[in-house]
Amino acid sequence: MDNGDIESVDEEFPGRIGGRKYRPVVANDRVVLEMSSMDPGSSSPASDTFSDRQASLKKIKAGTEATMNTDLKEGSLPTHGQANGPQGESKLELFGFDSLVSILGLRSMTGEPIPAPSSPRDGEDVAITNGLPKRADLKLGTLMGVFVPCLQNILGIIYYIRFSWIVGMAGIGESLLLVSFCGLCTFLTGISLSAIATNGAMKGGGPYYLIGRALGPEVGVSIGLCFFLGNAVAGALYVLGAVETFLKAVPAAGIFRETITNINVTAIERVESPSSHDLQIYGIVVTIILCFIVFGGVKIINRVAPAFLIPVLFSLFCIFIGIFLARRDKPAIGVTGLSLETFKENWSPGYQNTNDAGVPDPEGSVYWNFHGLVGLFFPAVTGIMAGSNRSASLKDTQRSIPIGTLAATLTTTAMYLVSVLLFGALATRKKLLADRLLTATVAWPFPAIIYIGIILSTLGAALQSLTGAPRLLAAIANDEILPILNYFKVADGSEPHIATLFTAFICIGCVVIGNLDLITPTVTMFFLLCYAGVNLSCFLLDLLDAPSWRPRWKFHHWSLSLLGASLCIVIMFLISWSFTIVALALASLIYYYVSIKGKAGDWGDGFKSAYFQLALRSLRSLGASQVHPKNWYPIPLVFCRPWGKLPENVPCHPKLADFANCMKKKGRGMSIFFSILDGDYHELAEDAKAACKQLGTYIDYKRCEGVAEIVVAPSMSEGFRGIVQTMGLGNLKPNIVVMRYPEIWRRENLTEIPATFVGIINDCIVANKAVVIVKGLDEWPNEYQRQYGTIDLYWIVRDGGLMLLLSQLLLTKESFESCKIQVFCIAEEDSDAEGLKTDVKKFLYDLRMQAEVIVITMKSWDRQVEGGSQQDESLEAFTGAQHRIARYLTEMKAAAERERRPLMADGKPVVVNEQQVEKFLYTTLKLNSTILRYSRMAAVVLVSLPPPPVNHPAYFYMEYMDLLVENVPRLLMVRGYRRDVVTLFT
Tell me where in the chain the CATH 1.20.1740.10 domain(s) lie. Answer: 159-261+271-597
* CATH 3.40.1350 holds for 791-861+880-985: no
In contact, 907 and 766? CB cutoff 8 Å: no
What's the pLDDT score for residue 382?
Answer: 80
- Beta strands 790-795 and 940-944, pairing class: parallel
Say whether pLDDT at 913 is over 90. no
| Contact status, residue 383 vs residue 393, Cβ threshold 8 Å | no
Residue 75 reports pLDDT greater than 60: no
Q: How far apart are CA 852 and CA 834, in angstroms?
A: 14
Which range has the worst mean pLDDT, 103-107, 568-572, 884-888? 103-107
Report which of residues 3 and 942 the model is more confident about: 942
pLDDT of residue 51 exceeding 50, the answer is no
Q: What is the mean pLDDT of residues 68-95?
A: 42
Instruction: Determine how β-strand 353-354 pairs with β-strand 770-775.
Output: unpaired
Are 119 and 77 contacting, i.e. CB atoms less than 8 angstroms apart?
no
pLDDT of residue 397 exceeding 70: yes
- Nearest partner of 615 among 732, 735, 733, judged by Cα: 732
At 116 the pLDDT is: 45
Is pLDDT above 50 for 326? yes
Contacts of 13 (CB under 8 A, 6+ apart): 72, 75, 87
Q: Which residue has the higher pLDDT, 334 or 264?
A: 334
16-20, 507-511, 874-878, range with greatest mean pLDDT: 507-511
Residue range(s) occupied by CATH 3.40.50.620 in the chain: 629-775
What tens digit of pLDDT does each residue of 671-693 get? 889 989 889 999 999 999 999 99
Q: Which of 48-52, 509-513, 765-769, 860-864 has the lowest mean pLDDT?
A: 48-52
pLDDT tens for 411-420 read: 999 999 999 9
Integer Cα distance of 872 and 865 in angstroms: 13
Lowest mean pLDDT among 43-47, 572-576, 795-799, 919-923: 43-47
Residue predicted with more confidence, 809 or 73: 809
The average pLDDT across 466-487 equals: 87
Give the mean pLDDT of 700-704.
83
- How much is the mean pLDDT over the chain? 77
Distances (CA, A) of 506 to 225, 469, 501, 512: 13, 11, 9, 10
What pLDDT does residue 425 have?
A: 92
Report pLDDT for 54.
40
The strand pairing partners of 330, in sequence order, are 327
Kindly report whether the global pTM for this prediction surpasses the value 0.75.
Answer: no
The CA distance from 231 to 218, in Å, is 20
Percent of the chain whose pLDDT exceeds 90: 13
Q: Where are the beta strands (DSSP E) in 469-585?
A: none
- Residue at 32: amino acid letter: V
| Alpha helices, H only, 296-369 | 298-325, 340-345
**pLDDT tens per residue, range 301-313:** 777 777 878 888 8
The predicted pLDDT at position 631 comes to 67
Mean pLDDT of 538-562: 80
Which strand (E) or helix (H) includes residue 574? helix 558-575
In which band, very low, low, confident or very high, does the pLDDT at 613 lie, cut at 50, 70 and 90? confident
For 629-775, CATH gives 3.40.50.620
CA 978 to chain centre: 40
| Other CB atoms within 10 Å distance of the CB of residue 490 | 19
pLDDT at 53: 41
Looking at residues 567-584, what average pLDDT do you find?
87
| Mean pLDDT within 269-290 | 80
Q: How far apart are alpha carbons 881 and 490 in whole angstroms?
A: 71
Predicted pLDDT at 270: 55
- The per-residue pLDDT for 174 is 93
- The predicted pLDDT at position 860 comes to 52
What confidence score (pLDDT) does residue 563 get?
93
* DSSP-assigned letters across all residues of 740-757: E--TTTTTTT-TTHHHHH
Task: State mean pLDDT over 92-107.
Answer: 49
159-261+271-597 maps to which CATH number? Answer: 1.20.1740.10
Whole-angstrom CA distances from 232 to 161, 193, 299 are 21, 21, 21
Is the separation of the CB atoms in 947 and 765 below 8 Å? Answer: yes
* 308-335 average pLDDT score: 87
* DSSP state for residue 663 in the 8-state scheme: T
H or E segment and range at residue 637: strand 636-639
The span from the CA of 102 to the CA of 126, in Å, is 10
pLDDT at 17: 38
- Residue 689: closest CA among 715, 706, 673, 709: 709
User: What would the pLDDT profile of 173-195 be if each residue is shown by its tens digit?
Assistant: 999 999 999 999 999 999 998 88
- Yes or no: say if 802 and 981 are a contact pair by the CB < 8 Å rule: yes
* pLDDT tens, position by position, 622-644: 766 667 776 677 888 999 877 76
Q: State the pLDDT at residue 183.
A: 92
pLDDT of residue 602: 64
Q: Is the model's pLDDT at 25 over the cut of 50?
A: no
pLDDT of residue 80: 40
- Which of 976, 986, 978 has its CA nearest to residue 626? 978
Q: Once rounded to an integer, what is the mean pLDDT over residues 416-430?
A: 92
pLDDT of residue 954: 87
pLDDT top residue among 143 and 866: 143
Among 5-14, 366-375, 584-593, the minimum mean pLDDT is found in 5-14
| pLDDT category of residue 344 using cuts at 50, 70 and 90 | very high
Amino acid, res. 647: P
pLDDT at 93 over 70: no
Q: Mean pLDDT across the stretch 933-938?
A: 88
Close Cβ partners of 939 (under 8 Å, ≥ 6 residues apart) = 787, 788, 789, 790, 791, 816, 819, 970
Kindly report the backbone phi and psi dihedral angles of residue 950, in degrees, each rounded to the nearest multiple of 5, phi listed first.
-70, 140
Question: In the 8-state DSSP scheme, what is residue 903?
Answer: -
Residue 916: CB partners within 8 Å, gap ≥ 6?
949
pLDDT at 410: 92
pLDDT of residue 179: 94
Tell me the C-alpha distance between 583 and 505, whole Å.
21
Considering only 80-89, 228-237, 729-738, 798-807, which range has the smallest mean pLDDT? Answer: 80-89
Per the CB < 8 A criterion, the answer to whether 713 and 602 are in contact is no
Q: Which of 49-53, 209-213, 900-904 has the lowest mean pLDDT?
A: 49-53
The 10s digit of each residue's pLDDT in 432-442 is 988 878 888 88
pLDDT above 70 covers a percentage of the chain that reads 78
The Cα 802–Cα 522 span in angstroms is 58
pLDDT at 927 over 70: yes
